[in-house]
Chain A
Amino acid sequence: DQQVKQNSPSLSVQEGRISILNCDYTNSMFDYFLWYKKYPAEGPTFLISISSIKDKNEDGRFTVFLNKSAKHLSLHIVPSQPGDSAVYFCAASGAGGSQGNLIFGKGTKLSVKP
């Protein structure tokens, strides 16, 4: 029973274009959402987060949008760069879990082609 779903296992985008990674969740009690990026043989690296009281958070080329009514969030990367090629994980917290108890999706592998 997956509470956080990333339905696209992979995504391929041309350099300079926008990458949009999607994430759906089922538990309306989640109150904080994060995106992590992971390169092979490395640990996940925090990218950007959003609280459930907001609907948008922006940090440079990265923007996260949250639609609470649809239980959906997305990560936009613009412009995409080849160095962005990695696996992106969506994660959620709250819903009675303790601090640091994040629920992760299975990830989306992004390939940015030069």
Chain B
Amino acid sequence: NAGVMQNPRHLVRRRGQEARLRCSPMKGHSHVYWYRQLPEEGLKFMVYLQKENIIDESGMPKERFSAEFPKEGPSILRIQQVVRGDSAAYFCASSPPGTEWANVLTFGAGSRLTVL
């Protein structure tokens, strides 16, 4: 019974390149969330998605960042033209349908992005 799977675990990019981070939610979970953790900071909400729908992207930077959760396959967080300030740990989380456990998120191990 695999948990939330994220890959790659570590990604190194040069300034101006693109970064793609993937997330497969826990089996039976239909809600996916992306969070970012900068050094010495707490986790910050970025986006909440359901299949083929972005529900809340209030935490996403206005430019260069996008997220999708297609009908088939994992959720993707895409960062275009990366800058050094994008270096962070990106965590994906999922939750089951229904409202009772809506805010009890199961997190993946994270993807650590380093921009040179």
Q: In the complex, which residues 37-58 of chain A have their Cβ closer than 8 Å to any Cβ of chain B? A: 41-46, 49
The answer to whether A43 and B102 have CB atoms under 8 Å apart is no
A43-B92 Cα distance, complex, nearest whole Å: 9
The answer to whether A99 and B91 touch (CB under 8 A), given A46-B104, A104-B43, A106-B42, is no
A91 CA to B44 CA, complexed, in Å = 10
Max count, chain A CB within 10 A of own CB: residue among B41, B58, B104: B104
Task: Return chain A residues, CB-CB under 8 Å to B110.
Answer: 42-43
Across the interface, do B48 and A107 meet the contact criterion of CB distance under 8 Å?
no
Question: When A and B form their complex, what is the total count of cross-chain residue pairs whose Cβ atoms lie within 8 Å?
Answer: 72
Whether A43 lies near B104 (C-beta < 8 A) is no
Question: Would A105 and B105 count as touching, CB distance under 8 A?
Answer: no
**A32-B103, A100-B93 known; A4-B42 Cβ under 8 A:** yes
Q: Is B106 an interface residue (CB 8 A)?
A: yes
How distant is the Cα of A26 from the Cα of B13 in the complex, in angstroms? 38
Q: Is the CB of A93 within 8 A of B103?
A: yes
Bound-state Cα–Cα, A91 to B100, Å: 17
Chain A 102-114 interface mask (CB, 8 Å, partner B; 1/0): 1111110000000
Assess the A99–B104 pair: CB atoms within 8 A. no
**Does B79 belong to the interface (CB within 8 Å)?**
no
Asked if B72 is at the interface of the complex by the 8 Å CB criterion, the answer is: no
Identity of the chain B residue whose Cβ is nearest the Cβ of A44 in the assembled complex:
B107
A98 within 8 A of B: yes
Residue in contact with A43 in the complex, picked from B4, B44, B45, CB distance below 8 Å: B4
Contact code string B42-66 (vs A, CB < 8 Å = 1, else 0): 1111001000000110110000000
Cα distance, A101 to B91, chains bound together (Å): 13
Query: With A32-B103, A43-B107, A46-B106 given, is the CB distance from A99 to B48 under 8 Å?
Result: yes
